[in-house]
Structure 1
Amino acid sequence: MEAVKKWERRKETIELTVAYAARMDRKLREAEAAVTERFWSLLEGPAAVTVEAGHRLGALLETCADTDQILVAAHTAAGEVVLVSIPRRAFVAGVGGGTVGLAASAALSASPLAAAFARSDIDHIGFFRDKRMNIIESDNIYGSATTLPEVLTAIDRMQALRRAKVVDSQSILRLLAMYAETAAWQYQDQRMFDHAEHWAEKALTWSHQLRDDYYIGLSLVRMSQLASDRGDGVSSAELAEAAGLAAPRDSLFTAAAVAYRAHALALEGDSTASARAYDTARTLVGTADADPTWGFFLDNSYIDAYQAHSLTALGEYGAAITRFDEATERMQSGYPRDRGVYLARSAVAHMEAGHIEPAAALGTQALQIGIATGSERIMERVLALAGMMDPTSTQTSVGEFVNEFKQWKAAICPDRT
């Protein structure tokens, strides 16, 4: 509390060291929604974040801790959730001012909603079902930095409609569970893991309220992949096994659960069991029932790409490169962001294998897609590749990658001297 009071007294006079600024960026990304809402309420006209700025989210902020701007999810006066760029000093000034944010005063109460829709025949369930499909398509094409605010806004609106008893409680709860899983996934893509975990747990809670194995399987599959992305192979395997037990046997969730368990086994160093599990996942993908609401991405090329990811973790770089090539060649065309992920991971595998020129060429492509889609999954690997690359190399592809990387970094971390 004393530190907070000191910040409030000093406000604009505070000067932050680079290391301290980085820690503050990290704390802000991990903060509860109410806290970030408070930041927003104390600012005057922050600028909304575009796709081009989306790549600043999450761990990439650690690479430019001296920048004067930080990004947060916040509520507008109209109640919408947007990603905003705010001065770090404004963040410092606003952190201790209280916990009542603008969203609290703007939140929709049950009475006005009930009155607004009392005599209407609006299909709210159909509207939000269709909206989710549009969000998913947009996420696949343009990235989660632009769609995540829509997901969070929709969740707020559906909860308000449920409180107002405007919609059937069970029907809207099913949608809430699916939207929560979508929010978890999009935060996961941004490498904001604590927020992703929060929404995955919300999805599981709502799924248990429904007592529906389909939604329980959906939530557990998301939690399994999230755990593996955090490097926790043991938890990922346990959650994948639970998902496989909960989900309907002929669902795509079961196939996904087996694939994510296969990667968890690779993280634990069991290459033989991992390979067997991937073979099982391919069989399940081929026999699973079509699902109109989830798993459009899940085909053999997806399994190949995930196995390549596992082979990289196992240090089998040659096999990983072959799998990545096959997956990229055969993947569906409507997933440019996923293509960027495959290229970035393949670039790292090439670099680990000593194939410097192809690593740099693939890295340049991945960097461009990462910038366009704002995907931290891509940029995470691009940053790793940059750390492995010799910037003084005279090789043509390396020079192109290094120049592109420097231009990108200069754009988000301008030299203020």
Structure 2
Amino acid sequence: MGRNDALRAARLRKGWRTMEAAATSITEHGQQLLDDRQFTVSARTWRRWEGDRPGWPAEETALVIHDALGRWPEDLGFTTPPGWIRPEHHEEADMQRRAFMSVTAAALVAGPVAPQHVDPSLIDYFQQQLEGHYRADMFLGPHDLIGTVSAQYQLIDKLTRSAKGETRRGLLRVGAAYAALVGWLYQDAGDMDGASFWRGITQEVAVRSRDPHLIGYSLVNQAQVRTDLGDGPAVVELCEAALDDADRLVPKVRVMSLQQQAHGASLLGDRAAVDHLIDQAYGPLARVDDDLPWGNACRRTPGYLEVQRATCYGRLRLGAEAVSLWDQVLDIVPETARRDRGVYLARHATAAAAAGEPDHALEIARKVTDIAIETQSSRMRRELVTLQGAMRPWQDAQVGRDLAEILEPVTVGS
């Protein structure tokens, strides 16, 4: 018979070795929390919860479970009923609406604006600032930069409305690059609504600039969001659209399109396409020589294409091959690239688990937690949640309990 492993693991982590002990403990906890001596959970009820049809507890019982185990029932294997909104989500939804409104306000300045002279040298100024933002992003993570970069985009948008001719086109080009960076920061922070909004702004401004390279770049940006959403076909379609007129594109946009299409292929389970696309990207990578300020990860990131291949192999559950690639990649990634290195280490640990090496996975995971706390990267947190899933076969062993303890400061509530 099937069983609810998520609830069982939570019980064992709590130290409740039997279902009878769990029923007694949750009853006592509920009576104290609710100040209600009538509150009870029987051993029979707990056995049903750990079975293959756990059902759904009453609302006050759900509150007790959350208070005792630190998880809501939908995160513990229960069957979530239609319309259930856990209490904390009411407040979260209000906060998200307010945050999204502020995102929109930062991108769309209500017009018209007062005309002003716009000096063409401002284009170079914003481009130089952009390169500084890229460097800061490697060290800081998204939360410290979103406000600064989105405010600068707002200024660029305001200036664009007054600019004419080539100055206007230059501001549109740099504005698209700023919008793309803000979209990435929101994506890294785990706010997919904000990321999608800013990716849309990027594409709109790129089209207005009539710059084919930026238009291709904006399509790859959209594909990145779709990759995080697990939508393989959409990733492939967007990258194919970017490559429709590949001869007009600078090499780095071709590199970005090909490697992102490989991610789409990995979501579709096509290992042969992954290897073909990444191998194909090596050609244009050797010819990247433009001075455009955006999209330079392919020449700034050591082992860029093998990072993508290793990530795709991990998604394809090619554990041993992914581990071998990550070993090579991490040898050349500098310690100063804290956040990227943390993400790569988390993926390395997941690959080790998939290869049946739980102790190796645990050893790697110890290195990641401090980086995840420091950078507050939701991308890294998602990678660690994926690692937890890969380590599920060992959740009752000492290595599994050690992993849960190490990751608790990062993954609780994820």
The equivalent residue for 2:154 is 156
CA contact (8 A) 1:180 1:202 kept: yes
The equivalent residue for 2:42 is none
The equivalent residue for 2:197 is 198
CA contact (8 A) 2:141 2:377 kept: yes
The equivalent residue for 1:57 is none
Give the 3-state SS of the residue equivalent to 2:331 in structure 1: helix
Residue among 20, 27, 42 paired with 2:93: 27
Q: What are the superposed Cα offsets for residues 199-241 of structure 1, whole Å, 9 maximum, x if unpaired?
A: 1121111111111101101101111222112111101011111
The equivalent residue for 2:259 is 259
CA separation in 1, counterparts of 2:386 and 2:288? Answer: 36
Larger Rg: 2
Structure 1 position 131, deviation (Å) = 1.6
The equivalent residue for 1:346 is 348
Structure 1 position 36, deviation (Å) = 4.2
CA separation in 1, counterparts of 2:257 and 2:120? Answer: 37
The equivalent residue for 1:182 is 181
CA contact (8 A) 1:252 1:291 kept: no
Q: What stretches of structure 2 of length at least 5 have no aligned partner?
A: 1-59, 64-71, 73-84
- For normalisation by structure 2, the TM-score amounts to 0.70
CA separation in 2, counterparts of 1:166 and 1:154? Answer: 20
CA separation in 2, counterparts of 1:29 and 1:319? Answer: 42
Q: Where do 4+ consecutive residues of structure 1 move more than 6 Å? A: 15-18
CA separation in 1, counterparts of 2:282 and 2:94? Answer: 41
Structure 1 position 187, deviation (Å) = 1.3
Q: Residues 283 and 363 from structure 1, CA distance in 2 versus in 1: closer, same or farther, beyond 3 angstroms?
A: same
Aligned identity (percent) is: 24
The equivalent residue for 1:3 is none
Q: Residues 255 and 408 from structure 1, CA distance in 2 versus in 1: closer, same or farther, beyond 3 angstroms?
A: closer
CA contact (8 A) 1:110 1:161 kept: no
Give the 3-state SS of the residue equivalent to 1:191 in structure 2: coil
Q: What root-mean-square deviation, in Å, do the aligned CA atoms of Structure 1 and Structure 2 show?
A: 3.3
CA contact (8 A) 2:143 2:189 kept: yes
Residue among 110, 115, 119 paired with 2:113: 110
CA contact (8 A) 2:213 2:249 kept: no
CA separation in 2, counterparts of 1:291 and 1:126? Answer: 12
CA separation in 2, counterparts of 1:160 and 1:109? Answer: 9
CA separation in 2, counterparts of 1:329 and 1:222? Answer: 28
Answer yes or no: is 1:229 the counterpart of 2:228: yes
Q: Residues 347 and 29 from structure 1, CA distance in 2 versus in 1: closer, same or farther, beyond 3 angstroms?
A: farther
CA contact (8 A) 1:363 1:401 kept: yes
Please tell me the residue identity of whatever aligns with 1:366: V
Please tell me the residue identity of whatever aligns with 2:376: G
Q: What stretches of structure 1 of length at least 5 have no aligned partner?
A: 1-14, 38-72, 82-102
CA separation in 2, counterparts of 1:209 and 1:74? Answer: 19
Q: Residues 331 and 161 from structure 1, CA distance in 2 versus in 1: closer, same or farther, beyond 3 angstroms?
A: same
CA separation in 2, counterparts of 1:220 and 1:181? Answer: 11
CA separation in 2, counterparts of 1:218 and 1:152? Answer: 19
Structure 1 position 156, deviation (Å) = 1.4
Larger relative contact order, structure 1 or 2 (CA cutoff 8 Å, min sep 6): 1
The equivalent residue for 1:382 is 384
CA separation in 2, counterparts of 1:267 and 1:250? Answer: 27
CA separation in 2, counterparts of 1:126 and 1:181? Answer: 18
